[in-house]
Structure formats: C-alpha cells, structure tokens
Amino acid sequence: WAWGSNQYGQLGDGTTTNRSTPVQVASLADVNFISAGSYHSLALKNGGVLWAWGFNQYGQLGDGTLTSRYTPVHIPTLEKVLSVSAGNRHTLAVDGNTDVWAWGDNWYGQLGDGSTINSSSPVKIPDFTGVSSVSAGMTHSLAVKDDGSLWAWGSNFSGQLGDGTTVTRTSPV
C-alpha cells in the first residue's frame, strides 16, 4: 500500500494522482520489504525478487531504460536479493552472494564502481563482497559488511562519508 505524492507514479497504482489515503500497489503480493526513494519505489517479494516503479530519468529503476513506470516492473537481472535501498536518484541492492549492485544517477560516484557514469541497469561494485545491508542517501551510499564494518562512498561535501575528509569517493571507503 502507498500514499502521498504521485507525480511520477511512485505510488505504483497506475496513475499520477496524489493520494491522501492508502492505495494498493498494482499487481504486488507476498512482499516482505519495501524502500521509498525521492520519486521511485522498490519492493522485494518473497524469494528476493525485485520490483521497481516511479521516476526513471537516471535509470534508478534498473530495468535498462529511462522510462518512468506507473506500475511495478520486475528487475530480472538480479535474483535472490537480500537487501535493497532507494536513494534520491539511485538504487542499491545486495544479492545472495553478498555482492553489492548499484544503478541510476552516479554524478558523485554513489554507484561505487569507480566511475561517475550513470547506469540504467545494475552494475556490480568490483571487489566488494560480504555485505549484509545497504542504505542509499541523497548522493552518497552506505554498506555494512558481515564483520560489522561500515563502508561509504559518493558525495562527501559535508563529511557525510565519515572518513575525516570532505573528498568525494567513487569507490567504497
């Protein structure tokens, strides 16, 4: 169920009508986790099947297009997803191998792949595994590894990466 602003179809009910009461997201059942970004939404169904909908100008839905979706679309390139997080204009996910995948806006390196190139499909962060959870911020990203260590990357203008600097990072630190 979803409610609120729906300018880009982020409520997933097939419309762009704002809602002040909950409406059911179209065609989704057996959902065990959700995440809402600024203008896009994500759902993990039982078994780690990922669905996305809403604004997609930067590829943050991960379906290989830049087409916004008013109802959920399955993201088939990732299966057995354990953790997912919708940021402002990017998305993060942890797969069953504890690898981190990212897609969408990468202006500040928030995808963590060492570049600043946007991606409309999931890209694996190289040499970064053993991750249990992720959190996507406005223009930065965070991950917790199985050993309890915290990793960060992306925009760092206000020191939000916590590494004692204000240097933007395109790979996890």
51-75 confidence digits (pLDDT tens): 999 999 999 999 999 999 999 999 9
Residue 165 has pLDDT above 90, yes or no: yes
46-82 CB burial, b ≥16 within 10 A, e <16: eebbbbbbbbbbbbbbbbeeeebbbbbbebeebeebb
Give pLDDT tens digits for 98-140.
Answer: 999 999 999 999 999 999 999 999 999 999 999 999 999 999 9
The fraction of the chain above a pLDDT of 90, given in percent, is 99
Residue where the block lists tokens 């953790």: 83
pTM to 2 decimals? 0.97
Q: Distance between CA 173 and CA 165 in Å, rounded? A: 11
Q: Which band of pLDDT confidence, cut at 50, 70 and 90, is reported for residue 149?
A: very high
Average the pLDDT over 36-58 and give the result. 97
- Determine the Cα–Cα distance for residues 35 and 42; give it in Å rounded to an integer: 5
pLDDT at 79 over 90: no
Contact 24, 34 (CB under 8 A): no
pLDDT averaged over every residue in the chain: 97
Mean pLDDT of 137-155: 98
Q: Distances in Å between the alpha carbon of 137 and those of 1, 28, 65, 73, 154? A: 23, 25, 22, 23, 9
